[in-house]
Amino acid sequence: MRTPWSDRGAALIMALMITSLVGALAASLVFVVVTESRVGRNQQAGETGAYAAAAGVERLIGELRRLPSWQMVPSSSSAAATFNDGRPVPSLADGTPLDLTRLAADRQAASDAFYPNGPNRPVWRLYAHAPLTRITSSDLRLALPYVVVWVADDSDEADGDPSRDSNGVILVRAEAFGTRGGRRGIEATLAASVVRDEAGLPLRSTVAVVVLREAR
């Protein structure tokens, strides 16, 4: 025979089970929402980084078009770039310092591992570094990436001098650094065609993108 106390006990157990089930469902829902939010933020950050790296290449192309010759581009200092912010130790949007010296060493080491040793092996130099807002002349106040651009002479030349361009072809690598370790890069091979005046003197360079790919 059931008693009121046994009915109350069964009801309490049932209530606890329902409460636990609802709590588990709520926790699962929160987990799904948080995960989806993180995935969305990461995807957006990745797309922004790719755009920023591409913007760095495009800004460099704009500057190369104004040069009568690319001869000294592989040895140019970053002071020559109009979009360089000039800070020796720049910081990302979250305040994290960016070690340009280490990044340059890593870029050269990765390049040396790919290209065979020789007098024409590319020597990478920092061309420019700046926040995306400076490169695109934007008034946005978002936590946008910081862009670093390197240039090098291509390895197909036979002049034995990687600090001088003699065939109108240079290599470019642009990388965008975001917060929380986000990083995207683009590599490009650019070719110049010199426009000359009636006397045969060089006026400016037109630029063709021979190769454009995402950096790994």
Domain ranges for the chain, please list them: 11-214
pLDDT along the chain (216 residues), means of 10: 56 69 62 49 64 91 86 79 84 88 94 93 93 70 80 91 92 90 91 80 80 87
Q: What is the spatial distance between Cα 125 and Cα 111, in angstroms, rounded to a whole number?
A: 12
Predicted confidence at residue 152, as pLDDT, reads 95
Predicted confidence at residue 78, as pLDDT, reads 64
| DSSP label of 214 | E
- H or E segment to which residue 26 belongs: helix 4-64
Predicted confidence at residue 175, as pLDDT, reads 95
Three-state SS annotation for 121-133: CCCCEEEEEEEHH
3-state secondary structure of 40: helix
CA 193 distance to own-chain centroid: 27
For residues 118-143, one letter each, b for 16 or more C-beta atoms within 10 angstroms of the residue's C-beta and e for the rest, the string is: eebbbbbbbbbbbbbbbbbeeeeeee
